[in-house]
Amino acid sequence: MSEQDLQAHGKQEVAQGESTRPGPTYVPQVDICESPQSLWLWVDMPGVTEQNIDIQVANNVLSIEGRVSVTEYADLTPLYTEYNVGNYARQFTLSNTIDTEKIAARMHDGVLELELPKADYAQPRRVAVTAH
């Protein structure tokens, strides 16, 4: 294991946060994978519950927002922090190959899993060959 593998990575704060929500807003880390039928996103949002997630699709933009309750930290004085508590926000521009009506989301242990199914016309298909 190299020294670089052990270095902590800081959270990236959103440059222009929403003024209607208290506290900082961070860009969550995301893994994206592809299968023949779907794109899969795993969004790291520790401290966010399924009740505090808002996912919207408008004009081919997928918007994800997660809200964290900071009330349990309100009376504490930080001495040293690596984990900054805050909300999360991330947007993705979707191609027209995604069937936005069939997007599914599940939350498990602070990780949001999104399945973005490809439209039927965008999925691989086998072409039959016939003889004359």
Q: Identify whether 75 is part of a domain.
A: yes
pTM of the model: 0.75
Predicted local confidence at residue 10, as pLDDT: 60
Q: Identify whether 109 is part of a domain.
A: yes
Residues 80-89 as b/e (b if ≥16 CB within 10 A, e otherwise) read: eeeeebbbbb
Mean pLDDT split into 10-residue runs, the chain, 132 residues: 48 60 82 94 93 94 90 80 83 92 95 94 84 86
Predicted local confidence at residue 11, as pLDDT: 63
Q: Identify whether 18 is part of a domain.
A: no
d(CA 68, CA 29): 16
Q: Identify whether 43 is part of a domain.
A: yes
Q: Identify whether 130 is part of a domain.
A: no
Predicted local confidence at residue 120, as pLDDT: 83
- For residue 64, the domain's CATH number is 2.60.40.790
- Burial zone of 42 (CB within 10 Å; 0-12 exposed, 13-18 middle, 19+ buried): middle
Q: Identify whether 13 is part of a domain.
A: no
> Which residue range(s) make up the domain with 47?
25-121
Predicted local confidence at residue 129, as pLDDT: 93
- 64 sits in which H/E element: strand 61-66
Domain count, the chain: 1
- Asked if residues 12 and 27 have their Cβ atoms less than 8 Å apart, the reply is yes
Q: Identify whether 127 is part of a domain.
A: no
Predicted local confidence at residue 3, as pLDDT: 46
Return the closest-CA partner of residue 41 out of 114, 110, 106, 103. Answer: 114
Q: Identify whether 4 is part of a domain.
A: no
